[in-house]
Amino acid sequence: MTERDIPRDNADKASSAAGVDSQRRHAMLLGAGSTLLSVVAGFLPGTARAAGDSAPTDDSATGAAPPSAAAVGSRVVPTSEEPLHHVVMQNSQIRVMRVMIRPGESTMWHAQNLTFVNTIINGSRSFIQRKGEGAGKVVEMVTGSVRFGDYQTAGIVDQVSNIGNALIHQVAFEVIALERGNYGNADRSGLSGFSLVLDKARVRGWRVRLQPGEIAAPYRQFGPGLRVVLSGERLIEQSPGDIGKQTTLHKGDAFFTEAGTRTLTNGGETPLEMMEYELL
């Protein structure tokens, strides 16, 4: 999806404005401390792609909306209130949603007005429409890829339909803090196991790949973040002076992460892959 503003007619402007006000009101009222929640879900295996610099295929193909798109109606809601975007975690900085769209299903029209990062846990062929943009696009959502939208700068209203044969399963998050935190220099270049795949004004993201028993070099996290698991069984996380903390992993798990220095070890017997995001 592109990152430009979308023209709308008067009725759509009113609906979109209500969505903007609702999301930003939620963002400014939030003050809860960070929590951690492991959400267990499965996904079909597939080949992971690098994120950010490797766009999903077929984004330029146009097509006709499926019947389910018209069936949900024309009402516009904030993304966090869209029924297939399940809010499962939230703190003062980040709102995390598990998006589940079965084959043949469509989301409601939803307004996106915040920085948005989407990890594709399981992909499928989709049809995406934006209000005011005419014909929709056929998009191949690739398992393991990442999609980004700077919607705080230019908001959109869109609808997503699953026109493939597999479940669309995503772990998406919105940056509900409206101002950049300037936490520090989030740089993990040169670290074994880490590869930078998302580098934006508000957030950076690294793909972490560790073989069984492999230890990643110690690194420092400056700002709040989110960890999304793509594969693996067990993670050992250790901070200087502390004993290791073991976490059992499942595909699709998500965890808040805090600032600090740590070492990561794949404590399982299968390869571990996950996304690590850090706010800037």
For 3-34, the pLDDT digits (tens) are 333 333 444 444 444 444 444 444 434 433 33
Nearest CA-CA partner of 48 in 208, 204, 161, 190: 208
**Do 200 and 132 lie in a common domain?**
no
Q: How many domains does the chain have?
A: 2
Does a structural domain hold residue 5?
A: no
Mean pLDDT of the 261-273 span = 98
Backbone angles phi, psi at 169, to 5 degrees: -130, 120
User: Range of 216's domain?
Assistant: 194-279
For 76-111, the pLDDT digits (tens) are 999 999 999 999 999 999 999 999 999 999 999 999
Does a structural domain hold residue 270?
A: yes
Banded pLDDT at 64 (limits 50, 70, 90): confident
Mean pLDDT of the 228-233 span = 98
Residue 62's pLDDT is 75
The pTM score is 0.79
Whether 265 shows a pLDDT value over 50: the answer reads yes
Nearest CA-CA partner of 96 in 75, 80, 112, 72: 80
As a residue count, the chain comes to: 280
**Do 222 and 148 lie in a common domain?**
no
Domain containing 33 — which CATH number? 2.60.120.10
